[in-house]
Amino acid sequence: MKFFSGFSLQNEEYLFEDYIKKSDYTVCGFSYGAIKALDFVQKQIVNGNRVDTLQLLSPAFFQSKDAKFKRLQLIAYRKNEDVYLNQFLNSCFYPYEKKIVERSTTVIDELEELLDYEWELEALNALVKKGINIEVYLGGEDAIVDAEAAKEFFKNVATVTYIKDANHFLQLN
């Protein structure tokens, strides 16, 4: 099993133990890591490697947000990276207790990439046609991504598990 971490994070995999399928042929990604997981799986397929399941845990989904929202995120990050990241993490855990997570080194390019990333149904359908099971997990109380828009987008190419009272980390109280 290969896991890709979320924006500004590392080693947060333990938070998803209840959801992650432990298999040599499973690839998981949380939030920004979901983008990286998809890219990894696409490369694995091109190289003839086996992947059975792609798990997208609270995938970074901002294509329903307008340019103003994205611009304000970048301005806030540039103004004070530490304040931005602390507020970001607090929002990830909202409305529940904050857990211990390790921060990684971040660069603005990563934030720009996740804000501007456009999920493509064609690319996801290509994986499904190759026999890859796509699982998407979303929290109804997610204060980071538009979980409703993500649910609507992914529902025709993936098994979507929508956890009504869960936050971005898929926590329930």
Listed range (6-10, 103-107, 138-142) with the worst mean pLDDT? 103-107
Instruction: Return the structure tokens found at 8.
Output: 């500004």
Confidence of residue 123 (pLDDT cuts 50, 70, 90): very high
- Please say if the pLDDT value at position 173 is more than 90: no
Contact 49, 58 (CB under 8 A): no
Task: Express each pLDDT in 12-38 by its tens digit.
Answer: 999 999 999 999 999 999 999 999 999
Is the Cβ–Cβ distance between 145 and 133 less than 8 Å?
A: no
- Determine the residue type at 64: S
Asked if the peptide bond before residue 95 counts as cis, ω within 30 degrees of 0, the response is yes
> Is the distance from CB of 101 to CB of 125 less than 8 angstroms?
no
- pTM over cut 0.75: yes
Q: What confidence tier does 49 reach under pLDDT thresholds 50, 70, 90?
A: very high
Query: For residues 15 and 170, what is the distance between their CA atoms, to the nearest angstrom?
Result: 8
**What pLDDT is attached to residue 69?**
97
* CATH number belonging to the domain at 2-163, selected among 3.40.50.1820, 3.40.50.620, 3.40.50.300, 3.40.50.12500: 3.40.50.1820
Q: Which tokens is 20 given? A: 């992650």
Q: How far apart are CA 170 and CA 161, in angstroms?
A: 10
- Rounded distance between C-alpha atoms, residue 21 and residue 41, angstroms: 15
How do residues 50-91 score in pLDDT, each as one tens digit? 999 999 999 999 999 999 999 999 999 999 999 999 999 999
